[in-house]
Chains A and B, each alone.
Chain A
Amino acid sequence: EAEVAQSPRYKITEKSQAVAFWCDPISGHATLYWYRQILGQGPELLVQFQDESVVDDSQLPKDRFSAERLKGVDSTLKIQPAELGDSAMYLCASDRFQQYSGNTIYFGEGSWLTVV
């Protein structure tokens, strides 16, 4: 079964260091999302891509976060410098449609970040 791949699964980094997460969506999925899920809360959208273009990054803290999807396939989310409040799970999701249709969006298993 096709799945959204994310790495690393777990990352511990010191405050002020840089960290990066990688996502490989399901083949053929044009839409890619990055969500942040703080422990005990629901996922919150950080950025949405359609192919290589950013559709929505209104909730992305652009002073320290950046995201790219250069060839419209895999994507990287970077945080520099990391802060204690960035400790969370970073979820990647992909969809073959741009408009949400429910059963075509798939989430990866997430990348856990702990900032110490």
Chain B
Amino acid sequence: QQQVKQSPQSLIVQKGGISIINCAYENTAFDYFPWYQQFPGKGPALLIAIRPDVSEKKEGRFTISFNKSAKQFSLHIMDSQPGDSATYFCAAVVGSQGNLIFGKGTKLSVKP
């Protein structure tokens, strides 16, 4: 089974701090790497995504850094806010197959 390994399992950050979540993969056929945000009782929602031909993508306070040679990618949340408290999942997909492979998730708590 293809896997995406995610760490840490949980993360506590002070308001205004930087949250960093890391993921690693093995399958070089993956060609799209999205991050999903999930609030309690809700389904996952797309947050930001990157393709392997780009090393970094930024959208507002959220940045993905991608290291193709190391087969690693990470999510950085700048100026973390209590409203960012949620579970974050990295994922990978072979676009032609359409099957999202999720990491195990990181529960982020941002303390006021």
* Neighbouring A residues of B100 by C-beta, 8 Å: 43, 45, 100, 105
- Does the CB pair B95–A48 fall under 8 Å? no
The size bracket of the interface on B is 20 to 34
A14 interface residue per 8 A CB criterion:
no
Of B4, B32, B103, B105, the contact of A102 (CB 8 Å cutoff): B32
Residues of A within 8 A of B (CB): 4, 31, 40-45, 48, 55-56, 91, 93, 95, 97-103, 105-110
**A37, chain B: closest CB distance, angstroms:** 8
Chain A interface mostly:
loop
Given contacts A43-B102, A56-B99, A99-B95, 10 further A-B contacts (CB under 8 A): A40-B105, A48-B98, A55-B98, A91-B43, A99-B96, A99-B97, A99-B98, A100-B32, A107-B43, A107-B44
Nearest 10 CB-CB pairs, A to B?
Answer: A42-B102, A107-B43, A100-B98, A100-B93, A102-B49, A42-B89, A41-B104, A107-B44, A43-B102, A99-B98
